[in-house]
Structure 1
Amino acid sequence: MYFGNIPAKPENTALDNKYFFARDTDIYGVAFNTARLIDLLDAVSNIDKSAIYLSYRLYWSLPRIKPLSIGYSVASNIKAVNGAVLDDSAERLLPILQSNSPELRTYILRFLTVYLRGLRTNEHTRIPVKHLTEIVQKFRLERLTSLLGPMQQFETAWIQWLSNPIESEVLFKQLTDADAYLRFDVTQDPSEKDYLYSIETESGYLTIQRVYRPHQRRPQYDNPAVYDFYSRPITSESTIIFYDRPLQADDNAEYLYEYFMTNQPEFEKCYFALHPKSTDWQRLEQKGFKLVPFFSKKFYELFLESDVVISSQIYNLSYKGKNLKNSRSIYLQHGIQLNDMSDWINSKHFDVFVATGKPEEDYIRTCAPIETLNSGLPRLETLHRKESTERNILFMPTWRFNLNTVTDQQFMESEYFRCINQIMTDDRIVGYLADNSITMQVKLHPNISTRTHLFNFSTNVVNCDLSYREAISSSEFALTDFSSVVLDAAFIDIPIAYYQWDASVFFQEQPYENRINYETDGLGPVFYRSDEIIEYIADGQYDRNSTIYAERKSSFFEGVEKNQINETIFKKMLEL
C-alpha cells in the first residue's frame, strides 16, 4: 500500500511487458484529469471500481502516460493469490475500446487474471461470459499469456478458451498415457458432480472439468518440428534433476536422491539443484551429490536434456520450448494437504503427485485422478525416533500470509507474535523446562526467519538451527498451530498437539480453506486458549499415551508402506 509517492522503477529494470504485468492495476489517488474522470464515470457505468484507472485510459484512448506520481493501491498478496472480488453492482470489467498499447493490454491481462482466479473461489458472477470473450478477443490477450507464471496456468487455459470458445477443450498437461484437458461448457443445468468448478453467471452456469484424451487430439501431435519430450523412456541413461528449495535442501527431493545414490547407482546422471550460497551446499557436496547451481545456464541446459524433474516444490521452468506442461515431472510435496489446496493443485503441472495416506489420496484424486500416487513422503522412510540423554520439545508454528509486508513494529504488535512469544516466555513453561532439564526448540517458518531476533529466547527456549529431520527425531513432543510438519513426528509415534489461538479467523486471511476437522481427525489434542496449552505443557500431560490418536494415525497413514516409499516412487517413475 502506497501513501505519498509510489515507489520508483528499480534501476536497470526494462520497461517491458513483465514490468507492467507486475504493477498493480487498482491504483487510486491523484491520478488524472478530474474533469475527464467525471466524463468517464458518466459514460461508463456498472464497471468495477478497481478498473477505473484502466477504464479511464481506455476511454480517452491514451496510448501511454507516465506512471502515477502520487496515489495508493489496495492490492495485496492475498488478493494476488486468492483473486479479486468485484463490486456487487459490476456487470462488466471495463469498456471494450480499441487500444494497441502493449502496456494497457498487459494491465488488462493482469486484471482479468486476478478476476478469473477469484471466480474459482466465489463461483458466482454478474459478468457475462460473452463480455469476457470480447475482452480477450478485442485486446488479443491470448498472445500475452506467456507472462502468466506457475500460479496462473489454470487462468492461462481459461483465457485460451475465451479466445476461441467454439473449441470447448484446452490442452492443459501432456502425460504419458493420455493428455489432461480442461473442458469449458456453458449450460443451464450443471447436473454432473465431477466438475472442478461450476460457476453461476447471469446467463447460466460455466462448468470446468478435467478430462483425459488420447495423444492424437494434441495440437501439432504429428508435426515433426515439435519435439515430444515423452518420446524417450526413462532409463539408467536418463538425466534426472532433483530439487527442494533454491536455498534449502533437507526435504523430500534430497532423501529420494539419496535413495538413488544408494539403491540405484546405475543412474549416474542425477543432479541436485541448489544455490551455491545455501548452507546445505557443502553438506551435500560432502555426501557426494552432483550439485548444479539453481537457475544457472547449466541448470537449464540439464533441464532441456532431462527426462524427468523430481521436486518438493514447483517452479515455472521453461527453456527453449520445454516446460513442465510438455515434459515429465514428479511432485513429492513439501508436506501433507491438511487444508483445501484444490485451487492450487488445479493450477499446477505434474505427472505424479505424491500423497501420504488414503484420506489425502482420496482428496487429491478429486483434482488429479490419474496423477495421484499414495506412496508417502520420501523423508518418512528413514525417519526414526532418536534415543538421547538430552530432552527436547519442539514448537513449530506456521506463518500468516497477511504479515508478509508489515514492519517489525507491526509484526510485534500482531496477535501472532504475542501468542508465540507468550508460550516461549511463560513462567510455568520456563520453570517446567528448567526443572526437568528440557529444551524447547523453536523452529520458525522460513518465511519469518528474518524476524527471529524479535522473539524472546532464553536458556531453555532456543532458536532451532537443526534440520527439520534432526529437530523432529530428537524431540519427545511436537507442538504447532496449523502446520502439517508435525505429522512427521506423529508418523514415528512422537506425541503432537495444536495450539490454534486464531482458529476463528485463520483461514480468512490465508490463500486456502480448511479441509479437515482438527478436533475429530487430528493426530493430537487441539487447544484454543493460552492457559490450556500452558497447563498441558507445564504439567507434562503430553507424555501420556492416548489410544484415540493411535487409531487415528493408523487410518490417516493407510496405504503407506514405510520401508517401500522411495521404491514405490521409483517404480512409478519408470512407468512414465
Structure 2
Amino acid sequence: MQSTLPSVTIVVEGARRFVDQDTKDTPTIVDRIKAELGSQHTATIRYAERALSHKHLWEQITSIDTQYAIFIKEGHNWSARLFPNLIQTARATGAKLVEPYTFTTTLPNNPSWAARQTEYDYYRDLSIYGKLFDVDELRKLRAITTRIDKSTLYLTYRLYWNILHTQPTGEAYTSNNPMINSSGMKLRGSENQILPIATDSSLELRRGILRLLILALRRLRQRSKGNLSLEEMGRLIKHYNLTPLIELAKQHHPIESMWVQTLANPDSTEHLTKVLTDHDLYTRISTSPLELSPPSALINTVRTRDASTYIYREYRPKSLRNRSSSPREYDFYRRPITNRSTILLFDRPTEADDNAEHLYRFIAEKMPDYTNLYFALNESSPDWNRLLKQGFNLVNFYSPKFDQILLESDVVISSQLMNINRFGKDFSNSRFVYLQHGIQLNDMTAWLASNYFDLIVSTGEMETQYLRTIAPVETLASGMPRLQSLRKKDVRSNQISYMPTWNFKDHGLSDDDFSKTRTAKQINELIHNERLRQYLRSTETVLKIKLHPNLQGKSKSFHTSSDIQISYENYQNIIENSEFVFSDYSSVALDAAFAGVPIAFYQQDSEDFYRSQVYNRRLNYEALGLGPVFTKVEAIVSYIINEAYKFDRVAYKASIDSFFGTVDRKDICQAIMRRVIKL
C-alpha cells in the first residue's frame, strides 16, 4: 500500500513586487497548488513571505523533513499537472532531479513542441524553480562547498552529482522573465568559485553553463560593476570548452559573446560586429583604456573584483577589410537603394500605429515610384483591416512570404529592435534602420549597443548628443516620423489623457498577480480618487487612459466608468484631441509637448521603478523643464481640477522650444529617406 505521508515539500517564495497582501489569509497560490495536487498526492506546502536569499534558502532546506523539495515563486506559472507529474516520476525512478520543460517566456500549450523550436538546452530556465530536488543531496552539496547561491544552485547540483542529461517530463514551468536577455542575471558565487570544475560534462550542461555566463556578463555590462572574478570566468570557459558553442549566444548577446571569446583568449580583443555602408564596426575589448581615432565610442567601463574592462565601438573604413570570395557569403550591400528596391517596414508584429506606419504612408504618397514597398503585421492584428483599407501592401509576419521578402529586401525599417535571422541574413550583415519607439530619456547604452542598425533616428539635440556617444556614425538627427503630422486640435475637447508606461518586473504576470503590483495600485489609486471623479462629472470631462502595449491585456485590472475610459485609439488621435496629457516615465508625453499639448509627470516611487528596469536613470525630469513632476496622487489631482496646465505654459515654453529646436517638422520623413537612399 502506497504511503500517504508527504514525500515532498513545496516551498513557495512570495513576490516582493506585490503590495497590499493580507498575510492573515491563505495566498491564492497555495489554494491553487492544493487543488492541483488533489486527493491522490500529499505534500507539505510552505509559503515564504520573504525572498529566498542565500541564508533563507538554506534555512528552508535544512528544516525540510521530506525526501524531496520543489521550489516555486509567486508570479511564475506552470501547467496543471506539474506537481502530480513530478512526484509520480520521482517515486517511480528515485531520481535525484526531476524537471519539466522550463521556460522564461509565456507558458506554452505544447511544451515539447515549443522546446523543439529553439535551442532548448541553451534557452531553458536555469533557476531552481519548478524542479524537484532530493533534499539529502542538497544538504550534502552544502557540506562540500563553501557557498552556493540559488542563481547557480541548479547547475552546481547537476555538476556535482554528475547529472549529465535530464529528460523533461511532459509538463511545463515558466519563470515569466522574458526580459532576462536584457537584464541579465546576478551571480553570487563564492570568493573563488562561480561553478565547480567537474571531471565530466555534456553538451547539454555546457550549453547551460554558457547561458549562465552570458547572462552574468550582460548583468555586468548593465550595472557597470559586480563582485565576480573574470579570471574565474575565463577558467570555466576554457575548462568546459565553451567557445565552439558561441554561435548560440550571438543573436541576442553579441557583445557578451565577444567578451567570452576574449576571456578564453586574451589576445582576441578585436571583433567584427556589423557591416555598414562605408565602414565596418568593430567591438574592442581591453583591460586598459585605448586611444582610438574618431569616430569611435567607449560604450562600457566594467569594474569587477579582479579587473577593469573597457568596451569600445570602433569604425574602420570598409576598404581595409579583405572581402571573402566565397559564394556562400553574400554581400547584402551590393545593390544600391533605388526605386526598384524592395523595402520592408514594420512596427510591432501585433500592431502598427507607430513610426514605421507613418514612414510607410509618407513613402507611398510622396515617393510613388518606390513600388516594392511592404508592411509586415500579423493578420490577427486589429490594425490589419484598417491598413488594408488604406491601401497598405501587407504581409503576414513570420509567414513564408515574409521570409522571402526579408531575403529580397535591400533595407528593413522598423520602430522596434528585433533579432531576425533568415538563411544567413540578419541585421549584422544587412541594412536596418531603427526609427525608435520613443525619445530616449534614460540610459539605454547596454541595450542599444547589443543591437544592430545602420541608422538610428534621434529627436532633438539632447537625445542626439546622447546617441552619438554610442553610435556616432549611425545617428541621424531628423526626429521621429510620427511627429511630422502631429498637431493639437484647435477645438476644445473636454478630454485629458493619462499614458502610463510599463514596469519590466510586471511582464508576464497573471491578471490576479498583476492586480497586486505597484503599477496597478498607482493607476487605481488615481482613477478611484473621489475629488478627481467629482471634477470629471461636474465639468463633463473624460479622462482617457492609454495603456502601454505591454499593459493592454491587463485592462480588466482597472475599474473605469463613463468619465474614466481605457482607450484603444491610436496615439495620434488621443494626443491631438487632449487638453492635457500626463504620464509617469513614458516619452509619449514628449510627443504631446511637441504637438503643443500641456504635459506633466506623475511618479510615485522613482527609486523602486528604476531598480527593476533594464536601463538606468539618465535625465532628471524636473530639470528637463517640459512640465511639472508630481509624486503624490493628491498633488496631481489638485493640478488637474484647478486646470493649472492652462496657466503655467509660459514657465515651460522655452525648455520645450529648446528641446525640439533642431527638429524641422516639415522635413522629418524626407530627411530620413534621403539618408536611407545613401545607405
TM-score by length of 2: 0.79
**Aligned-pair distance for 1:55?**
2.5
Match of 2:153 among 52, 68, 77: 52
* Matched residue, 2:42: none
Is the alpha carbon distance of 1:293 and 1:145 closer, same or farther for their aligned partners in structure 2, counting shifts above 3 Å? farther
**Aligned-pair distance for 1:219?**
7.2
* 1:240-278 deviations in Å (ceiling 9; x for gaps): 100001111010001101111111111110100001111
Select between 565-574 and 460-469 the one with higher mean Cα deviation. 460-469
Is the alpha carbon distance of 1:407 and 1:280 closer, same or farther for their aligned partners in structure 2, counting shifts above 3 Å? closer
2:243 paired with 1:142: yes
Contact 2:152 2:187 in 1 (8 A): no
Amino acid at match of 1:97: A
**Aligned-pair distance for 1:146?**
3.6
* Matched residue, 1:360: 463
* 1:372-416 deviations in Å (ceiling 9; x for gaps): 111000000011212335321111111122222444333333332
Is the alpha carbon distance of 1:406 and 1:547 closer, same or farther for their aligned partners in structure 2, counting shifts above 3 Å? same
Amino acid at match of 2:336: P
DSSP-derived class of the 1:393 partner: strand
**Aligned-pair distance for 1:122?**
3.3
Is the alpha carbon distance of 1:98 and 1:196 closer, same or farther for their aligned partners in structure 2, counting shifts above 3 Å? farther
* Matched residue, 2:193: 92
Give me the whole-angstrom Cα distance separating, in 2, the residues matched to 1:491 and 1:557. Answer: 7
* Matched residue, 1:329: 432
Amino acid at match of 2:433: I
* Matched residue, 1:123: 224
Select between 341-350 and 450-459 the one with higher mean Cα deviation. 450-459
List alignment gaps of at least 5 residues for structure 1: none
Match of 2:574 among 464, 471, 480: 471
Contact 1:190 1:198 in 2 (8 A): no
Is the alpha carbon distance of 1:536 and 1:151 closer, same or farther for their aligned partners in structure 2, counting shifts above 3 Å? farther
Match of 1:339 among 442, 454, 457: 442
**Aligned-pair distance for 1:468?**
0.6
Is the alpha carbon distance of 1:298 and 1:471 closer, same or farther for their aligned partners in structure 2, counting shifts above 3 Å? same
**Aligned-pair distance for 1:504?**
3.0
2:397 paired with 1:299: no
* Matched residue, 1:111: 212
Is the alpha carbon distance of 1:36 and 1:480 closer, same or farther for their aligned partners in structure 2, counting shifts above 3 Å? closer
**Aligned-pair distance for 1:568?**
0.5
DSSP-derived class of the 2:551 partner: helix
Give me the whole-angstrom Cα distance separating, in 2, the residues matched to 1:72 and 1:272. Answer: 35
Give me the whole-angstrom Cα distance separating, in 2, the residues matched to 1:452 and 1:73. Answer: 23
* Matched residue, 2:234: 133
Match of 1:159 among 242, 248, 260: 260
**Aligned-pair distance for 1:449?**
1.4
Give me the whole-angstrom Cα distance separating, in 2, the residues matched to 1:57 and 1:457. Answer: 50
* Matched residue, 2:53: none
**Aligned-pair distance for 1:536?**
0.6
**Aligned-pair distance for 1:460?**
1.3
Give me the whole-angstrom Cα distance separating, in 1, the residues matched to 2:320 and 2:201. Answer: 34
Contact 1:171 1:218 in 2 (8 A): no
Match of 1:422 among 506, 510, 525: 525
Is the alpha carbon distance of 1:72 and 1:263 closer, same or farther for their aligned partners in structure 2, counting shifts above 3 Å? closer
Is the alpha carbon distance of 1:460 and 1:178 closer, same or farther for their aligned partners in structure 2, counting shifts above 3 Å? same
Amino acid at match of 2:213: L
Is the alpha carbon distance of 1:304 and 1:448 closer, same or farther for their aligned partners in structure 2, counting shifts above 3 Å? same
Contact 2:493 2:578 in 1 (8 A): no
Match of 1:559 among 662, 671, 674: 662
**Aligned-pair distance for 1:426?**
2.2
Select between 286-295 and 424-433 the one with higher mean Cα deviation. 424-433
* Matched residue, 2:125: 24
DSSP-derived class of the 1:475 partner: coil
**Aligned-pair distance for 1:530?**
1.1
List alignment gaps of at least 5 residues for structure 2: 1-12, 14-71, 74-81, 87-98, 102-110
DSSP-derived class of the 1:12 partner: helix
DSSP-derived class of the 1:398 partner: coil
Contact 1:48 1:94 in 2 (8 A): no
2:606 paired with 1:503: yes
Give me the whole-angstrom Cα distance separating, in 2, the residues matched to 1:404 and 1:543. Answer: 36
2:312 paired with 1:204: no
* Matched residue, 2:349: 246
* Matched residue, 2:30: none
DSSP-derived class of the 1:210 partner: strand
2:516 paired with 1:413: yes
Give me the whole-angstrom Cα distance separating, in 2, the residues matched to 1:302 and 1:259. Answer: 20
**Aligned-pair distance for 1:198?**
2.0
Contact 2:159 2:201 in 1 (8 A): no
* Matched residue, 2:624: 521
**Aligned-pair distance for 1:68?**
8.7
DSSP-derived class of the 1:211 partner: strand
Amino acid at match of 1:424: I
DSSP-derived class of the 2:637 partner: helix
Contact 2:189 2:228 in 1 (8 A): no
**Aligned-pair distance for 1:440?**
1.1
Give me the whole-angstrom Cα distance separating, in 2, the residues matched to 1:73 and 1:278. Answer: 26
Select between 535-544 and 41-50 the one with higher mean Cα deviation. 41-50
Is the alpha carbon distance of 1:282 and 1:135 closer, same or farther for their aligned partners in structure 2, counting shifts above 3 Å? same
DSSP-derived class of the 1:95 partner: coil
Is the alpha carbon distance of 1:390 and 1:49 closer, same or farther for their aligned partners in structure 2, counting shifts above 3 Å? closer
Is the alpha carbon distance of 1:255 and 1:29 closer, same or farther for their aligned partners in structure 2, counting shifts above 3 Å? closer
Q: How does 1:183-332 map to 2 (within 5 A)?
A: 183-187=284-288, 195-215=298-318, 218=321, 221-332=324-435
Amino acid at match of 1:85: K
Give me the whole-angstrom Cα distance separating, in 2, the residues matched to 1:226 and 1:11. Answer: 34
Give me the whole-angstrom Cα distance separating, in 2, the residues matched to 1:241 and 1:559. Answer: 28
Give me the whole-angstrom Cα distance separating, in 1, the residues matched to 2:117 and 2:561. Answer: 50
* 1:173-202 deviations in Å (ceiling 9; x for gaps): 111111111101123x68999522222344
Give me the whole-angstrom Cα distance separating, in 2, the residues matched to 1:482 and 1:562. Answer: 24
DSSP-derived class of the 2:607 partner: coil
Q: How does 1:31-50 map to 2 (within 5 A)?
A: 31-32=132-133, 37=138, 40-41=141-142, 44-45=145-146, 49-50=150-151
**Aligned-pair distance for 1:132?**
2.4
Contact 1:124 1:201 in 2 (8 A): yes
Select between 346-355 and 147-156 the one with higher mean Cα deviation. 147-156
Give me the whole-angstrom Cα distance separating, in 2, the residues matched to 1:171 and 1:149. Answer: 12
Aligned pair count reads 575
* Matched residue, 1:182: 283
* Matched residue, 2:270: 169
Q: How does 1:366-381 map to 2 (within 5 A)?
A: 366-381=469-484
**Aligned-pair distance for 1:171?**
1.2
**Aligned-pair distance for 1:529?**
0.7
DSSP-derived class of the 1:103 partner: helix
**Aligned-pair distance for 1:558?**
2.6
